[in-house]
A and B are shown apart, each in its own frame.
Chain A
Amino acid sequence: MGVPAPWTEQDKSGVYRELEHPADLWLEIRGDDPAGLCENSLYALYASMVGAEGVRPSEERTLVAEGADLGEALRGLLAGALYRFDTEGFVGAAAAVQVEWETSSETEPSRVAACARVWGEILDPGRHEPLAEIKAVTYHLLAAAPDPGGGWRATVLFDL
């Protein structure tokens, strides 16, 4: 797979919005399908921390996560992205995500696995404006499910 178009070259208007929360950052994110929902969630995370403007897709990182449902897998992806940011300063500019549901059996509950290839670069304080320090991706108010109005919708609360 080639590098997808950077987020700055896509119309990302309306893919996420901030919901009212007294202390932290609570986002509602939308996507056409589970993979698109995860990609837009990564975009929302990076845009909240640094802003996507001026970030170049020059290096690639792979993030993998799984969970009992899509919400948990999505949270794991975002936590992985946050870890990369905190330890390397890696900021994403584009991503391609795959989501798979593992088949359930009588003895094993179903699992959701997500894999994201993220292209970006290391934070450069000279070119990138830090916006917010996100401490963690919480389980609180976490949801990811089909939206009755069409597409998929997630809510994620980030601890600031």
Chain B
Amino acid sequence: MTETPNNSELRRVDDVVWEIPMREGMRVPGRVYADDVLMESLQGDQSLDQVRNVAHLPGIQRYSLAMPDIHFGYGFPIGGVAAFAVDEGVVSPGGVGYDINCGVRLLATDLERSALEGSMKRMVDQLFRDVPSGVGAHGAIQTLSRREMAEVLEQGAGWAVRHGYGRPDDLERTEAHGALPGADPEAVSERAYARGDSQVGTLGSGNHFLEIQVVDQVFDPVAARAYGLFEGQVTVMIHCGSRGFGYQVCDDYLGIMSQAAQRYGIALPDRQLACAPVDSPEGRRYLAAMACAANYAWANRQMIMHLTEEALLRALSMAPRDLNLRLVYDVAHNIAKLEDHTVDGVVRRLCVHRKGATRAFGPGHPEVPEPYRAVGQPVLIPGDMGTASFVCRGSTRAMEQTFGSTCHGAGRVLSRAAALRRAKGRAIDRELAAGGITVRSQGRKTLAEEMPEAYKDVERVVAVMDRAGISPRVARLRPLGVVKG
């Protein structure tokens, strides 16, 4: 290990791994995945302090981890992974985030890019009309009754499929089959119900998007074939989460956990790390409520997939069998899950927090869908709307090093205010159009805030985890048409 010139505490482990040594109060060291350029960009950033702070929490195993898209979050950094022993560790809403089960769904088609010549604007306009997006978006389906909401919270994507919004085999290709067990609708506040009952099937705003893409490069032909991807193929990516429902669940439980941490005598270096023992009434109740929000998000993305298929069929005047829209995979990147991992040679039940991090289970894992089991699960990494997104694959090394986890996106590099300043006097939609990307947005402000320069170089972020052997690249997807909220 060698010291870096800019941070005497940070020690280089190898090409792309850095260690934050233990200091007083830390129970484990920190580990950061970054190359020199990304690490340089983190100097002076408080997110590394947050990696240290997470390492103080009881029951944390091996390392407090940071992925290369790390940035400053609430208590836990975005791009953070932390696993806690179920029998002696904690669960923290701040380790999941407000948008519980924010995630990504990738759809494949039988179309090649050449078949869309002259159709892109029509497709994007139709998606923009048919998939509710933007501030306070609602109304994809009629407002759900209390009983229907409870069904959504317990059944997740399965609820949508059973109501005709998708196919049964979609569930096989969704992380956790689109529903976490243990969801308890009684653990959720009236406010959460009220915020969520009209938002199923809506995209929302901010960094959420619906994107028509083309597979422009395949890096791993074997895995790409297993995932049903080929060069020149048209794909669709959906990025969104649990909408107001999930935000409210997080908000409610931050207050509860703040009191619980005091009651259990858990010393917190930052009150946003509020937590309770996993095996406590507060911990179990949060996990039951969080599962409701996670399931809501899976139902939401399932519904949006259905709306997307209908919109594309309409825009292209095409029969379903010709489009052959199908689910490649759906991953969560804001979640806490109970998983078995080997720690010091012993299989332990852990509560793995992934906040801005994606599960990356490797070959042979029973939770990887059977058609993908030989190569590992698809890992979906959205980039900015002007560059690219990536399909990677989970690996055995991820199981050994990162509790089966990897990065989740590009990560912001400009504040929204800075992005607005940089966009002043420019027409971002026209700039994207000049690059062959058709974009529709509810507001010009969102478009400016989400401009490509606002994000880190996704190629670099993904390359770090490829070089680390955590999530090798499978394919790159270039945006053709983008719908932003």
Check A133–B136 contact: CB distance below 8 A: yes
B72 within 8 A of A: yes
CB distance from A44 to the nearest CB of B (A): 14
Check B136–A86 contact: CB distance below 8 A: yes
Check B72–A22 contact: CB distance below 8 A: yes
Check A131–B135 contact: CB distance below 8 A: yes
Partner of A132, one of B98, B135, B415: B135
Check A20–B417 contact: CB distance below 8 A: yes
CB distance from A143 to the nearest CB of B (A): 12
A47 within 8 A of B: no
CB distance from A135 to the nearest CB of B (A): 4
Interface of chain A, main secondary structure: loop
Check B412–A136 contact: CB distance below 8 A: no
B271 within 8 A of A: yes
Interface bracket on A: 20 to 34
**Chain-A contact segment, one of B29-37, B244-252, B275-283, B309-317:** B244-252
Closest Cβ neighbor of B46 among chain A residues: A22
A133 CA to B98 CA, complexed, in Å: 13
CB distance from B148 to the nearest CB of A (A): 17
Partner of A18, one of B99, B205, B417: B417
CB distance from B268 to the nearest CB of A (A): 12
Task: Kindly identify, within residues 61 to 110 of chain A, every residue whose CB is under 8 Å from any CB belonging to chain B.
Answer: 79, 83, 85-87, 89
CB distance from A126 to the nearest CB of B (A): 14
Please give, as numbers and ranges, the residues of chain B lying within 8 Å of A86 by CB-CB distance: 136, 195, 244
Most buried by B among A22, A87, A131, A136: A22
A135 CA to B205 CA, complexed, in Å: 10
Interface 1/0s, chain A 122-159, versus B by CB < 8 A? Answer: 01000001111101111110000000000000000101
Interface 1/0s, chain B 391-416, versus A by CB < 8 A? Answer: 00000000000000000000011111
A140 CA to B94 CA, complexed, in Å: 10
Please give, as numbers and ranges, the residues of chain B lying within 8 Å of A24 by CB-CB distance: 416
Closest Cβ neighbor of B445 among chain A residues: A131
Known: A133-B136, A159-B74. A87 touches B415 (CB 8 A): no
Please give, as numbers and ranges, the residues of chain B lying within 8 Å of A160 by CB-CB distance: 206, 416
Partner of B191, one of A23, A83, A123: A83
A29 CA to B330 CA, complexed, in Å: 40
Check A85–B136 contact: CB distance below 8 A: yes
CB distance from A72 to the nearest CB of B (A): 9
Please give, as numbers and ranges, the residues of chain A lying within 8 Å of B98 by CB-CB distance: 135-136, 138, 159
B103 within 8 A of A: no
A79 CA to B195 CA, complexed, in Å: 12
CB distance from B79 to the nearest CB of A (A): 11
Please give, as numbers and ranges, the residues of chain A lying within 8 Å of B272 by CB-CB distance: 138-140
CB distance from A68 to the nearest CB of B (A): 10
Check A132–B71 contact: CB distance below 8 A: no
Check A130–B443 contact: CB distance below 8 A: yes
Check A133–B204 contact: CB distance below 8 A: yes
A23 CA to B415 CA, complexed, in Å: 6
A143 CA to B194 CA, complexed, in Å: 29
Interface 1/0s, chain A 22-60, versus B by CB < 8 A? Answer: 111100000000000000000000000110000000000
B442 within 8 A of A: yes
Q: Can you report 21 A-B residue pairs in the complex whose CB atoms are below 8 A from each other?
A: A22-B412, A23-B412, A24-B416, A50-B135, A83-B191, A83-B194, A86-B244, A87-B244, A123-B136, A131-B443, A132-B205, A132-B445, A133-B135, A133-B485, A135-B206, A136-B247, A136-B250, A136-B251, A139-B74, A140-B75, A159-B247
Known A-B contacts: A21-B417, A130-B135. Give 18 more (CB < 8 A).
A20-B417, A21-B72, A22-B72, A23-B78, A24-B416, A83-B191, A86-B136, A130-B134, A130-B205, A130-B443, A132-B135, A132-B445, A133-B205, A135-B99, A136-B98, A139-B258, A157-B74, A159-B247
